[in-house]
Chains A and B, each alone.
Chain A
Amino acid sequence: MKTKMDFPSINERKPEGVKEDGSPYRVLVVDDSMFVTKQISQILTSEGFEVVDTASDGLQGLEKYKELYPNIDVVTMDITMPKMDGVSALEKIIEFDKEAKVIMISALGKQDLVKKALLIGAKNYIVKPLDRVKVLERIIQSIK
């Protein structure tokens, strides 16, 4: 990155969202709330991840995953969404790519759906309200 050459970094820590080869982890954010999508994108971008695309329902999320594949590293998936809910979309994504790394985003009180998602193959989950530390920790755990 040009800025890094211009201004030597005083902070030696490498951003967590960057792979060994220096390229960013690529994320697809699936959520029907514009607010949550923006919040997740801001948190991830600030740590070096690249949000390659967003989808506002499960069906669109599934389609975008297929389009992006294999150039996609991780998906954040809301549970309650119109057209196709997050658990069904997860199921279809895992059918398509059993190595898919999907992290569920859940409101409180959806433990049964979260459990179901983990059994299907979700790598982790995050309960809203989202905070930066929690989001990064859970996503980084599931990609490393």
Chain B
Amino acid sequence: MRVEYINPFVEAAFNVLKEVLTSDVKRGELYLKSTTQPVMGVAALVGLAGNVEGRVLFDMSIETALAIASDMNGEKLEQMDDLAKATITELANMITAQAVTKLHELGFTFDLTPPAIFTGENMEVTDSEVEALIVPMELSYGKVEINVAVRERV
């Protein structure tokens, strides 16, 4: 996978997290995975389809998701209820929208699916015929991994 697909997502995630959270945001080291990967507990998935295709996953633990949702709402949320899920969905929306604007400027054209939120334990994600690039974002609430598996349409 070409690194140029992931950079807009990393930049957008960094900018949006910094803007909507009171936490510090630090970018971790990028790594590549080609096999099945564990998912931490709450994952927002956005699909891409066009001249590039694949998916972007925003992956975090339930504790991190709740801390982020609490910060964004300005009140303590105790459970992954509808409001917490709507908040994480909106976060994924804002990050993806900013990344896509950049990718469109670079000449990639594709449509997006609305984010789907997965919650649970012992989840894994497998992508066939495309490896995933992952960039962790370190927050004081724990980490959010930006996990991008995208390829050019053949």
The count of A-to-B residue pairs whose CB atoms sit within 8 angstroms is 43
Interface residue? A120 (CB, 8 A): no
Residues of chain B within 8 A of A109, CB atoms compared: 97-98, 100-101, 104
Interface residue? A133 (CB, 8 A): no
Q: Which of A32-40, A66-74, A92-100 lies at the interface with chain B?
A: A32-40
Residues of chain B within 8 A of A84, CB atoms compared: none
Interface range on chain B (Cβ under 8 Å from partner): 10 to 19
Q: Bound complex: CA of A33 vs CA of B89, how far in Å?
A: 8
- B94, A33: Cβ atoms under 8 Å? no
Q: Which of B38-46, B80-88, B120-128, B134-142 lies at the interface with chain A?
A: B80-88
Chain B, residues 86-107, CB within 8 Å of chain A (1/0): the string is 1101100110011011001000
Residues of B near any A CB (own CB < 8 A): 16, 19-20, 72-74, 82-83, 86-87, 89-90, 93-94, 97-98, 100-101, 104
Interface residue? A19 (CB, 8 A): no
Residues of A near any B CB (own CB < 8 A): 33-36, 38-39, 42, 107-110, 128-129, 131
> Which has the most chain B C-beta neighbours within 10 Å: A34, A35, A38, A110?
A35
In terms of DSSP, what is the predominant structure of the interface of chain A? loop
Residues of chain B within 8 A of A38, CB atoms compared: 73, 83
User: Nearest 4 pairs between A and B by C-beta?
Assistant: A109-B101, A107-B97, A34-B86, A35-B86
